[in-house]
Structure 1
Amino acid sequence: MLLLLTLLFALFQGATSAHPIFDENGALDPRAQGVWYSREKGWILEIDERGVTRWQDTQAGCYASPAPDESTPMMGQVEYRLFRPSRNGQSIRLNYLPGDASAHFERLDALPQACGAEDLSSETAVFDVFTSVMASHYSFFQARGVNWDALVARARPQVHDGMGQAALWDVLAGLLEPLGDSHTKMVGLVNGEPRRAQAGLGTTLPMIREGMGEGAWLNGLVDQLFNDVLDPGAELIADRVIVGEITPDSGAPIGYIQIFTMGGFTHEHTPGTIEWSQAELAALSDMLDDALTRFADDQAIILDLSNNRGGYDAVTRAIAARFTDETFLGYRVSVPGAPEADQDYVITPYDGVRYTGPVYVMTSDVTVSGGEITTLMLRQRPNVILVGGTTRGAFSTPLAKPLPNGWYLELSNEVFEDSEGHVFEGRGIPPVLAFDIYPEDAPVAGHKAAIERVVAMIEAG
């Protein structure tokens, strides 16, 4: 911890914008001390010498976030480390990591008396908290064709105190199912057993999981690339990235990069820490330096995101910066009803090795989250062509809302749009040229056929 704080202090001691909440000695910056409220998050934070205490402010009551357990997702285990104060001291913006999205908080005189005033752990109270949190913060009921109030009205008679954890779980999970949103889910322990309620995984992943199994499928895809598709010398890096070349009949090589996740490139640091963030971006930079130097004279690059499961947003922006020679607005993020949350993400060309020749981005309904954000940015570039299938349509960084009984609800509250205002939540980003990459009758061989089809397009000019 001391090393982390020392690094954090060194990074920001001279900055005029972002500052560590606690310095290298654990001392609190007095400008961050106080009680802070975020409308966009429904959070109240108490920041004092003891640390950061997070309260969940809902229409059904205010309660402290339960202590994490083995089922708690990562977003429930990390806390803000950086802040930017306003000039008058009445608001701050908080960040988990440098360059990460920030959240706006307003100063309160004191913690509201309602916080912690009542026990909200009963089945009816948890139901009320759950439904009110969704009503207040979920942004896509209309886009996904769901009448939330009607769903809640039908479910409410099923809920009563004493019904038990399993029955309550089934009711809440049933409310999430119609949304078909893979970024809106619930995880927790039910009678000591881990449970997960998540829908909207598209067609490919459920097909694979019900058939050959995801492990056999992924291994088959990787083996096929190395044995039948890529030239000798291809690399599998950190089990997350494949880099190689394809030499077609013309003899002019084509670069190939497949990225499975936007992160996970290193294992030296705890995920969510400053050190982790720096190591991830440094590892990505090294990989792209090597690959793009190798591909500098290639006739095109295939960037395969057809099996990308998302990850760290800063990684997506670093990738986009490698395929442009102009500064452009990559995307805009907003939260309905909270204009203070609006943020623009401008992409500046990377000051180093870049590739601005033809880039063919392969996508499918497996492509989600960070994979879609990368696609959203790159599709705006004149040298990029999207091919394959429509992406999943789940962009929002999940808002973590722990429930009073310890279950964790994550929901989509952010709206991502491109520079022209297009929003693809719920419908996905369509390709310019559509074809199935993972057909049901050949989910492994179909990937090879899809790459061969892209190679033929490149060769044809």
Structure 2
Amino acid sequence: MKILLCIFITLFQLHLAFSQRDTTNSINGIWEMNGYGRIIEISDLEVSAYDISKISCLVNSKLSRADINQLGQFNLTHKDSLHLKLGITHYYLHRIKKLPPGQIITDSIQSKNLKLNFDVFWHTLNENYSFFKERKMNWKHIYTEYSNRVDTLTNEQDLYDVFLEITGKLNDEHTTVIPNDAIRKAHEELMDIQEENDGIPHISISELSETIVHKYVENPIKYGKSLSGNGLLNYGVTANNVGYIQVNNMIFFADYKLPDTLTDYDFLFAYLDASNKNPSYQEDEVKGIKYQMDSIMDRFKNTDAIILDLRFNTGGYDVVSLEILNYFIDTKKKVFSKKAKTIDGFTSAQSHYIIPTRKAYKKPVFFLTSPQTSSAPESLVIAAMPYENIKVIGSRTMGITSDVLEKKLPNGWDLFLSNEILVNYKGDCFEGVGVPPDIKIDYARDEDQFIQELSNQLKNGDKAIEKAFALLKNE
């Protein structure tokens, strides 16, 4: 589920966003993005996005020109240059004369060829993936190791098993292949059977987070629904006057009036479908979290400190993370920068700054992290590093700090990969190793083990929360 959250939000965050400001024909034509392996073709009637590699040019998506505003904002900076902005990221495109000759794949029989799909998979990562060194992967050796094996495959299920094996070696939860529904569901059912047969009782992460909230806060306020099925945002004041906020995703803050009966994947898919129809979806996420944080800060203005619990947060949008951080800082600072992989190197680094809100909290703040803190909440912790009033308690985060780049394979499957390098204000990258805490607690990196161990420890108190209380008492 964590993998699906990290990757499916990318269908909206990196699925090339446009909104027309200049209605003249000057934006018509074929545009290649600097980095990201993507070409955009704009005509009076249609906008087409293509994924390109050394050996392929594939249609990723098409939409009506009349619906171009659904996909974001762009600005024509020169007759041959486009600037696009989505969320906190800027993209730059240059005009080209035609699509790559000899690389376009449209034949339905050809698109089902197992070896072709493997080759496009390998070349796409070879040209766009940023962390082979950090993940200790010899990518050229992967082709040598698997190419002959793929020649012997007879069905797509076997090809999917190969993709799972390879991406498993990368150990990057932002990098995976999502096949068609039939193959995906067959694999999920197999995983469910294996979990049922392992003989180990499993407490869910939603049950654990709920238990912690009620242990420390009497009558907590709960808002929304997270991907895990518990509250999206749970908060209240502890008996010793500390504000406690538990944020379990950095998405789902826009109100799309979805049925309460939707859960798990059904909830995620319905939410993202609603987002896809909303040209201002990221702005609505920010409005949603801002409304909640304004209310929380009003309630917490007389507390002695605030604990922000990110231990169960499995991702979402960076814009939501930075909006939350605005409430705990008092000065504008550069918080991180990022650049994207290209065939020949990297795009220019983009620096990001945040500005405090008028309701900024000036007292001690403690962030709680775990190995399950992944993606967007990691951006929040990295962005908090320049601020001395914020202390991080827990263990290193998961270490998937890149945005996710979404691609198509010839057979229509989705390929997601990490293609951006994000570094903190000092230039340090935490991909693969996780963001370190200021005060360490040794949480298990395995999810089930982490949940079970933390659940067992609660009878003596939550170590991270109790540590925050002790630090506050000794100040």
CA distance in 1, matches of 2:52, 2:18: 26
Q: Which amino acid aligns with 2:167?
A: L
* CA-CA distance at 1:310 after TM superposition: 1.1
Give the counterpart of 2:453 among 428, 442, 457: 442
TM-score in terms of structure 2 length: 0.80
1:43 and 2:57 equivalent?
no
* SS of residue matched to 1:225: helix
Determine which structure has the larger helix proportion and give its number.
Answer: 2
**1:261 equivalent among 236, 249, 274:** 249
Partner-residue secondary structure (3-state), 1:20: coil
Distance 1:173 1:441, change over 3 A: closer
**Contact 1:52/1:79, CA 8 A, preserved across alignment:** no
Matched, 1:189 2:180: yes
Q: Which residue of 1 aligns with 2:216?
A: 229
Q: 2:320 aligns with which of 315, 318, 332?
A: 315
Task: Spell out, residue by residue over 1:132-186, the C-alpha distance to the aligned partner (whole angstroms, 9 max, x if none).
Answer: 0011110000011111111210101101276210111112222111110011111
Distance 2:91 2:212 in 1: 44
Cα deviations across residues 414-458 of structure 1 (Å, max 9, x unaligned)? 000011101000100111111145756533253642222321222
Q: CA deviation at 1:391?
A: 0.2
What do the CA deviations read for 1:173-212 (whole angstroms, capped 9, x no partner)?
Answer: 2211111001111101275554779xxxxxxxx99x9854
Q: How does 1:193-212 map to 2 (within 5 A)?
A: 193-194=184-185, 211-212=200-201
**Displacement of 1:384:** 0.7
Contact persistence 1:369–1:395 (CA under 8 A): yes
Whether the 8 Å contact between 1:40 and 1:341 is mirrored in structure 2 is no
Match of 1:58 in 2: 53
TM-fit CA distance, 1:315: 0.6
Corresponding residue to 1:157 among 148, 151, 159: 148
Counterpart amino acid of residue 309 in structure 2: D
Give 1:245 shift.
Answer: 1.0
Judge conservation of contact 1:364–1:437 (CA < 8 Å) in 2: yes
The residue correspondences of 1:246-395 to structure 2 (distance < 5 A) are 246-248=238-240, 253-268=241-256, 270-272=274-276, 273-337=278-342, 339-350=346-357, 352-395=358-401
Matched, 1:93 2:83: yes
Q: Rate the CA distance shift 1:29–1:254 in 2: closer, same or farther, 3 A.
A: farther
**Structure 2 residue 124 is the aligned partner of structure 1 residue 133:** yes
- For normalisation by structure 1, the TM-score amounts to 0.82
Deviations 1:214-250, CA, capped at 9 Å, x for gaps: 6x44124314422x211x34211112011111123xx
Shift of 1:115: 4.6
Report if the CA contact (8 A) 1:123-1:161 is conserved. no
Q: Which segment is superposed worse, 437-446 or 257-266?
A: 437-446
Higher relative CO (Cα under 8 Å, sequence separation at least 6) belongs to 2
Which consecutive unaligned segments of at least 5 residues does structure 2 have? 1-16, 64-68, 189-194, 225-230, 258-273, 445-449
The code of the aligned residue for 1:242 comes to N
| 2:234 equivalent in structure 1 | 242
SS in 2 for 1:394: coil
Cα RMSD after superposing both structures: 2.8
Equivalent of 1:401, from 382, 404, 407? 407
Does the C-alpha gap of structure 1 residues 161 and 49 become closer, same or farther in structure 2, counting only changes over 3 Å? Answer: farther
Q: Is the 8 A contact 1:165 1:190 kept in 2?
A: no
Is the CA contact (8 Å cut-off) linking 2:34 and 2:91 kept in structure 1? no
* 1:72 alignment partner in structure 2: none
For the 8 Å contact 1:370–1:395, the answer to whether it is kept is: yes
Q: Is the 8 A contact 1:186 1:196 kept in 2?
A: no
Q: Which amino acid aligns with 1:343?
A: Q
Contact 1:235 1:244 in 2 (8 A): yes
- Using the TM superposition, give the Cα deviation of residue 118 of structure 1 relative to its aligned residue in structure 2, in angstroms: 6.3
